[in-house]
Amino acid sequence: MEPDLELTRRDGAPEELWEIARLYWEHSGVNAYDKVVWVRPTKSISVTGWRGSVHHVAGAGAIAVLPEVNCAECSGPLTLTSRTAFESGRNGRDTVCCDCTPTYADSVLRVGGSGLEDLRLQQQQRAAKRLAAAQAEAESKAEQQRQLDALEAERRSALAAEYPLQYRQNLPDPRSIGLRARLTTLALMDYAARDGLVEAVEHQDLVLAPSPQQGADLIHEASGALLVTHPSTPTRAFAWASPAGGGQPNWTGYFPLLTRFHLGLGQHDPAQWENARENLVASVQLDALTAVEQQDLVTFAAELIGSEALRYLKFKLNDEYRLPDISNELRPRALDLLTFAARQLSLGHLMRAIWTVTSGATNLKASKPYIPKQRIADYTVSQLEVKLHDYLAPGHQLLDPYRADTRLPLSAIIRALYYEVVHADPLTYTLPELERSLPAPSDTYARELCRLSIPDGEQSRDALFAASRDWDGAQFRRALSEIENRTFEPCARGCIHDRQPDLARQFGASFDKLISRIGADAAGIALIESMHYSNDHPETPAERPGDLLLTLVAQELGVL
């Protein structure tokens, strides 16, 4: 098939240039491979006396056009700069015309000896257009930058208003903060802080928790207690909503791993920082924990070890054996399996089991390359289940646990938990050993906090009496039944909350005895009056279970 090519002599081009152009573009069709067969090589075409390469000299003599093909930039007719451009255009590849190739046009103008005023004028016009377009683009970018700077200033102002560089005279007592929040704060202070400022975790060579989501959740839980958001936190750490009607910018959420924190004690004072850290460390020691916190510690340790083992599995599959991660459908199963095993086995034994099954997976990949890699990766989960079942079997002789892999340092939260609280090696220490070593719980402080958190019972009693026309005895009895069946989270073993269902049951039984004698409404009034006296419990004289019950009843009846 003859390749299409239209050749037009340039206005004013001398005969010699026109002849060079015809010699350059002359061809004899295409070969069996659909390649254009040029009549002569470019080296055989003499351009002596003319400045430039042969395709520039040919361009000064004629304009070559590939019909029905458009320029990839301006979409105009495809004028050709060379034989290579011709081959590219006829093969369907994106090709740029002469007008959109300024260096080609400049080279053609330098050939000399030809009247190329039309080309020169076109070049000047195109240069003016390019200059105007560049100026317009620069102005547009400058305006966009001004708008971005103004938006950034507004967002910074909103952050400064919400999180000022506050100065707190006294830090909150660490024991008033949840155990997990305390451990997270300790990990951040030990591994992510510099000169009193906790830098964004995501911008450091630091793994706070075994998974990014787990780390974000822990930071969110700890935020606002000992550590508060620093006003220098970048605005991109927040998900901003479009302000309505040009109002103040606001955010709908934030990214904990991008947030910066500080203690809120003003200028960094190493002595204050160390004192705050020492109080924090003291609050998480085993002998300072309540019974509830001790159980939460064991549960949290199992979750962390299971997640850390899953992180090691991902590392072995991805980084070492070039296999994909296990599928999302199997991830919860693998995590549950490893967390369950972490209740009995150390992290080092979990890592040994993972090393064994991933080694088997890579052997399978080498021996049966036709099996999809994803299936091989998922196969490790079922093999891991078998291996851990063997490890947990009674009488099974365990080999030595694995040592730390220097390529995958432990997450900071695990290091803080084991090195500062448990004082043991997470690779060799087991949770049964931890549970056996737990000292007697320290519940005194938790009980005191529980007592102080209860509202004044007299106010609840007066509110019930004042609204007595809005409720009757039957509603009062139902309120006691609701409280009796409610599940309370105890602050410590035997605290006020822990005893509320029993106390509500006792008052319900008293109501059932009184109702036949004095009526339901009078029985309710009488019991409300007597609830306050339940505070005088011989075993816990400082606590106020009766005040709590009065408050709960008032809430159930809609009085408070």
- Give the pLDDT band (50/70/90) at residue 1: very low
Q: Count of residues for the chain?
A: 560
Q: Tell me how far CA of residue 82 lies from CA of 49, 79, 263, in angstroms.
A: 20, 9, 69
**What's the token pair of residue 426?**
């997470």
Which among 208, 411, 398, 234 is positioned nearest to 305, based on CA atoms?
Answer: 411
Is the CB of residue 405 less than 8 Å from the CB of residue 203? Answer: no
Reported for 282-288, long-range contacts at CB under 8 A and 24+ positions apart, including other chains, are 282/174, 283/173, 283/174, 283/175, 283/182, 284/174, 284/179, 284/182, 284/183, 284/186, 284/420, 284/421, 285/421, 286/421, 286/422, 286/437, 286/438, 286/439, 287/439, 287/440, 287/442, 288/175, 288/442
Give the angle 89-95-96 at the CA atoms, nearest 5°. Answer: 135
Q: Which residue reads 């004082």 in tokens?
A: 423
pLDDT, tens digit (0-9, with 9 covering 90-100), for 312-359 = 999 999 988 889 999 999 999 999 999 999 999 999 999 999 999 999
Among residues of the chain, what percentage have pLDDT more than 70? Answer: 94
Rounded distance between C-alpha atoms, residue 191 and residue 284, angstroms: 17
**What's the token pair of residue 535?**
């505070």
Which among 204, 427, 425 is positioned nearest to 312, based on CA atoms?
Answer: 427
Q: Which residue reads 């019930």 in tokens?
A: 464
Please count the other Cβ atoms lying within 10 Å of the Cβ belonging to residue 421.
Answer: 21
To the question of pTM greater than 0.85 for the whole model, the response is no
Q: Please state whether 245 falls in left (phi above 0), alpha (psi between -120 and 50) or beta.
A: left
**What's the token pair of residue 220?**
């969110």
Average pLDDT over residues 537-553: 74
DSSP 406: T
For 424, the enclosing helix (H) or strand (E) is none
Which among 323, 318, 305, 226 is positioned nearest to 265, based on CA atoms?
Answer: 226
Among residues of the chain, what percentage have pLDDT more than 90? Answer: 43
pLDDT, tens digit (0-9, with 9 covering 90-100), for 126-170 = 767 778 888 899 899 999 999 889 888 988 988 888 888 878 888
For 7, the enclosing helix (H) or strand (E) is strand 6-9
Rounded distance between C-alpha atoms, residue 517 and residue 547, angstroms: 26
Rounded distance between C-alpha atoms, residue 388 and residue 398, angstroms: 11
pLDDT, tens digit (0-9, with 9 covering 90-100), for 242-290 = 766 666 788 888 999 999 999 988 888 899 999 999 999 999 999 999 8
Is 90 exceeded by the pLDDT of residue 536?
Answer: no
Q: Which residue reads 């939260």 in tokens?
A: 413
Rounded distance between C-alpha atoms, residue 46 and residue 28, angstroms: 20
Task: Give the chain's end-to-end CA distance (angstroms, integer).
Answer: 93
Q: Please state whether 163 falls in left (phi above 0), alpha (psi between -120 and 50) or beta.
A: beta
Is the CB of residue 349 less than 8 Å from the CB of residue 396? Answer: no
Three-class DSSP category at 78? strand
Rounded distance between C-alpha atoms, residue 331 and residue 16, angstroms: 76
Give the angle 468-470-475 at the CA atoms, nearest 5°. Answer: 90
